[in-house]
Structure 1
């Protein structure tokens, strides 16, 4: 008799028993069950549970309680309560209003100048963003005294009999002659008179005109140089601002100039230590507060608010480092961050505009609509007025400029070159004639020399380099990049997280010789474009998801590793589909994003100004023809480089040639109300800082920053951080 079998034995014999081999049943991401115990909790579901939101509310509530208490005390003592409601007291006992614009500081940092002022100032104070430190040799003595612009050398030295036409190489000469020929052709088509021997007239005059020597006591406009103590041991360790540029070249001890900001970001070419860069910026700010605003004690800054203006296409390390300097090093009470283009629209009073900011070493373009910078329209070009200055001097030396020893590394030559550019450069074709000019060369310890010279087309062709940037020298703009200040990376996966825009990707692809991205969604290699800036969430559409046959959710940063060389049309699946004999190569998304960022860091982002404006406007409009016309009709030129006469009209003409269908809509103009284009951004920061604090929740207080640090920026910035 066969014994009775158990149920477990029957399942095992019939093959119905459940076996677990620890293999996943599917490669699809598993969604865990909801923890029912915490499902009904309210943890982090209300804004008040975030410190960044709760602290300003508590501060406002405490202020109201304090004002009510002060009012009751004043009524009990029979004192008028008209002035006590909105007043506080600083450490010295001086009363001040919490909305007092005299307690507001506005800072706009540029590569060449720092603009600083109080909220009550009509215009800011502009000081050079430079610091002079005691050094073994000054900047003009480094590298065996090699001048700038750099002359071509043979066997390590410039030949004594070399003509100025050969100083800068054949490439520069060919481009210069091509631009000159193109300008003559353009002028003839516009019915302007062109003399055939204008170049020879200029060269012959400059070659045979000696300078006139003027003794120092006869020079009415002589320069007051920075005086140093006779004892070198008593000389200061550093000097900032205008005084730094007026230190004599042969001073004892020697001083070297350091510019902490280059091309709109940190100067990693001249610095080898991050702490030194940090302290130099801090000292420049501290001296500016003391000399320009009259704030002699850093303790007083705890009662001040500061609006700090950052680039549109910023770097995260730049923002966090500047914020750390302002709050922790200088001790400002509150700081607010605002982007340059948005600040420019505040200053000009525009609601929608395409802002073109031409600075000394950086040109930024951005479309602003409804109080926000459109992320994909941001463009950052590493060229500006300093490139125009250098090219202008090279063209002048090419035409036998009488002061052939011009060296932009010397302080007085640098100031002279800036003065010559501002006086003589113009984009007006009517000014392209043989003209005679003069200037005075003033150097410490030397007699003043008066030079007379002639110019022809150098005054226009140097500024035209903004539309043909290949004439500029880009050889040292990326030198030392990422060597001192590392790139910002994501806290969780370590991938680069600096913001990037589709317009900037197109600029980099064009500068690198690649084809532009297709419809703003793909890179030249066919891979999806990496978006480091958080984009607006798209509405969920199940049908579109099924039609697109996506196998990895968009919210996944890393995604699934994909085999290469297989026959599957979807590169994001990690299941082998195709030939089993072919080896599987899995991709690391973080490594790919890092390599892509490294490749972009090796490319100097330069593009003709007119093409960059059109690219920014196209990306900003996003296919909306009405918005495209609004941007083209509201192009605003600002920055020091925009003060070149005729630049706006020339840019407008170039844009109409590129987009003839929008000829009537295209309008390029300066800021309204006769504003100085250099201070529009600062003025907008001042207007923004004086808005009611009750409606502005972007202020970062020192207490909050001490607790949360830069994590506050996710809740405090008006832009996607």
Structure 2
């Protein structure tokens, strides 16, 4: 009989006895398990844990130390100079001098940029007005822009049976649709003028056509022309020609230059130009090159390394695209090397420049028109509207109307540089919205082309000068055929980092514009925002479409995309097979992310176009949100800015149109010009300059290069003064 063995003997015999002398297997410290029932953390619960907050606090502390040292140094110098101790009044005066000098030095290192589709406004904080530079770059190319597409001119001449109509019938060059709309607008204007007791001659059109048809131009030799143009000179050897030109020099390159140059406009209709570019890098480098050359020629910053000492206020659209903002910010900080950048919205900058606290800003640019209500330093998000039409559409329509009336220079082609500049000049000189000026009048202009003698043309106009800008209220007369070409082909839209859904900002007013442009409006421009909100929130009263579902999807927080377990007994489409009787019933699945993508794609297919007066009413209706007092304030503070608003008589005509629709606000509706006789083209830039100089006291909207290198565009959530 074998005796019972002890536990120690069993461990020794089985090889289970521990022989490591209780030494730790690693020198790394061992962390005990967290008690899941009682734990607490302060991670990201205090302001001092945010990089943006810490950077701002450190900068304020360093500035206070620097100002204190400057003050002590100034007081010490004053004591040595006067050999006496200054009294309190002298010390206060010295303090004011030092602080004002520091502000002046800060403003001299402040750059304000306002980018448009046609022009770039640039200047320092010490400048009273900005410099205007064409937002264009000319690069060496196989052929210039007027030679592309087989030399097809702009505006496009339609062909009948493959042949352009002869010169005897220019009224047929632009198609029957344009001709009928033009005649309809002429008839409506005559009726309006008769109702307003204006004298209308029955044969005015015949007088214009007959005069333009038989009046030849005068030829002036180049040496006898006192206002001849200095064209951009190129070296005799084509290999030594510069690779690019920017600004005014690019527009003055001769058409038949050797080598050929082609103009590239990186911004079109307020966003990136994807029609004329091949990839994203070309747009990126062209914009960077235009900025760099503007810094050299307009601001005198010849050394790119000096830009690290400059701050920049960059003005962005009210209804911006995230890719546009992040790409511009990357150009300014990483490519150009600016020290700090601050982002500011256009309408808010306009109120800073005008010195008003509440207003409805209507910015008519070259290729886009933006409308936004601003209240107490904040752009109301639901009121933002972006229309893809502007002053350049008026220029093209004016040329088409003049050519239809036998304009003596019928060969005008807006793809040619000198013709484009000539057409812009004719629009500025002759277009008006004042009915008292609509009479048969004789004008003249000079055509100057490189390598040709100057030609002086005489022509007559009648109602073309008013009907062209009337396109703001009848946008169907504009040519919108190529405004959506190659949209999203080069630069995709911004999407959410987690679920991939589109996350560009949108407003209810913009949705209403898109709905109206698509042919199924959901709200009426004459309704208040309360009524429009009720319509949007009641599915039974609203036509079902994708764009309306976008509004509901954004108004209601979306649930998680991840699937959740189904209760017991619930049929699962992925696991269970349908019953025999239910085999013909379709099974529907609801994917909110896929739905938002489809909605965004449908929205991109529709060009946001609406008459200007209705768009303003739509913006104010959504901005007031049913508050009658707010609506009256907005109607009384409508301000027209931008180059397209400089048409004579446009404010008064627009005010009359709005009063005809909003008859219950007859006394409140008022459209004013910028105060202090400021140029409406530079008001937005002026506001950005004012804001930048106010920021010298310190705010958290400045983005430094160190912060951007660490966090990238994620920093905009904490740095922007608007909802990002």
Q: Return the offset for 1:100.
A: 1.7
Report if the CA contact (8 A) 1:71-1:85 is conserved. no
Aligned to 1:266: 272
Q: Return the offset for 1:196.
A: 0.4
Q: Return the offset for 1:59.
A: 2.3
Report if the CA contact (8 A) 2:71-2:95 is conserved. no
Correspondence 1:261-340 to 2 at 5 A: 261-340=267-346
What is the distance in 2 between the residues matched to 1:243 and 1:458?
32
What is the distance in 2 between the residues matched to 1:555 and 1:333?
39
Q: Return the offset for 1:655.
A: 0.3
Aligned to 1:361: 367
What is the distance in 2 between the residues matched to 1:313 and 1:289?
27
Report if the CA contact (8 A) 1:534-1:720 is conserved. no
Q: Return the offset for 1:260.
A: 0.3
Query: Structure 1 stretches of 5 or more lacking a match?
Result: 1-33, 88-94, 536-552, 564-575
1:559–1:680: structure 2 CA closer, same or farther, 3 Å change rule? farther
What is the distance in 1 between the residues matched to 2:706 and 2:662?
52
Report if the CA contact (8 A) 2:106-2:696 is conserved. no
Aligned to 1:112: 118
What is the distance in 2 between the residues matched to 1:692 and 1:390?
41
Q: Return the offset for 1:460.
A: 0.1
Q: 2:696 aligns with which of 675, 693, 698?
A: 693
DSSP-derived class of the 1:56 partner = helix
Report if the CA contact (8 A) 2:103-2:696 is conserved. no
What is the distance in 1 between the residues matched to 2:700 and 2:222?
58
Report if the CA contact (8 A) 2:165-2:172 is conserved. no
Aligned to 2:467: 461
Aligned to 1:525: 544
Report if the CA contact (8 A) 2:318-2:346 is conserved. yes
Q: 2:636 aligns with which of 622, 633, 636?
A: 633
DSSP-derived class of the 2:242 partner = coil
Correspondence 1:646-657 to 2 at 5 A: 646-657=649-660
Q: 1:374 aligns with which of 380, 405, 408?
A: 380
What is the distance in 2 between the residues matched to 1:38 and 1:658?
65
* 1:159-199 residue CA offsets vs partner (Å, 9 max, x unmatched): 43561010000000000000000000000000000000100
What is the distance in 2 between the residues matched to 1:645 and 1:495?
45
* 1:342-361 residue CA offsets vs partner (Å, 9 max, x unmatched): 00000001110000000000
DSSP-derived class of the 1:100 partner = helix
What is the distance in 2 between the residues matched to 1:674 and 1:73?
43
DSSP-derived class of the 1:178 partner = helix
Aligned to 2:588: 585
1:656–1:66: structure 2 CA closer, same or farther, 3 Å change rule? closer
What is the distance in 2 between the residues matched to 1:35 and 1:372?
47
Q: Return the offset for 1:557.
A: 5.7
Correspondence 1:162-561 to 2 at 5 A: 163-516=169-522, 519=533, 520-521=536-537, 524-525=543-544, 529-530=549-550, 554=557, 556=559, 558=561
Report if the CA contact (8 A) 1:134-1:254 is conserved. yes
Q: Return the offset for 1:588.
A: 1.1
What is the distance in 2 between the residues matched to 1:107 and 1:404?
38
What is the distance in 1 between the residues matched to 2:544 and 2:392?
35
TM-score (normalizing by structure 1): 0.86
Aligned to 2:18: none
Aligned to 2:645: 642
Q: Return the offset for 1:692.
A: 4.0
Aligned to 1:64: 64
Report if the CA contact (8 A) 1:499-1:533 is conserved. no
Report if the CA contact (8 A) 2:316-2:344 is conserved. yes
What is the distance in 2 between the residues matched to 1:453 and 1:74?
68
Query: Structure 2 stretches of 5 or more lacking a match?
Result: 1-33, 82-90, 524-531, 567-577
What is the distance in 1 between the residues matched to 2:551 and 2:48?
31
What is the distance in 2 between the residues matched to 1:526 and 1:483?
25
Aligned to 1:670: 673
* 1:239-274 residue CA offsets vs partner (Å, 9 max, x unmatched): 000010000000000000000000000000000110
What is the distance in 1 between the residues matched to 2:147 and 2:35?
70
DSSP-derived class of the 1:690 partner = helix
Aligned to 2:51: 51
Report if the CA contact (8 A) 1:70-1:84 is conserved. no
Q: Return the offset for 1:66.
A: 5.0
Q: Return the offset for 1:122.
A: 0.5
1:67–1:351: structure 2 CA closer, same or farther, 3 Å change rule? closer
TM-score (normalizing by structure 2): 0.86
DSSP-derived class of the 2:700 partner = coil
1:603–1:217: structure 2 CA closer, same or farther, 3 Å change rule? same
DSSP-derived class of the 1:60 partner = helix
Structure with greater helix percent: 2
Between 68-77 and 189-198, the greater mean CA deviation after superposition: 68-77
What is the distance in 1 between the residues matched to 2:120 and 2:701?
23
Aligned to 1:40: 40
Q: Return the offset for 1:96.
A: 6.9
DSSP-derived class of the 1:357 partner = strand
Report if the CA contact (8 A) 1:113-1:127 is conserved. yes
1:628–1:75: structure 2 CA closer, same or farther, 3 Å change rule? closer
DSSP-derived class of the 1:108 partner = strand
Report if the CA contact (8 A) 2:71-2:98 is conserved. no
DSSP-derived class of the 1:449 partner = strand
Correspondence 1:94-133 to 2 at 5 A: 100-133=106-139
DSSP-derived class of the 2:114 partner = strand
Q: Return the offset for 1:79.
A: 7.3
What is the distance in 1 between the residues matched to 2:552 and 2:415?
38
1:169–1:555: structure 2 CA closer, same or farther, 3 Å change rule? closer
What is the distance in 1 between the residues matched to 2:42 and 2:98?
36
What is the distance in 2 between the residues matched to 1:278 and 1:236?
20
Q: Return the offset for 1:72.
A: 7.1
What is the distance in 2 between the residues matched to 1:650 and 1:557?
51
* 1:619-658 residue CA offsets vs partner (Å, 9 max, x unmatched): 0000000100100010000000100000000000000000
Q: 1:598 aligns with which of 593, 597, 601?
A: 601
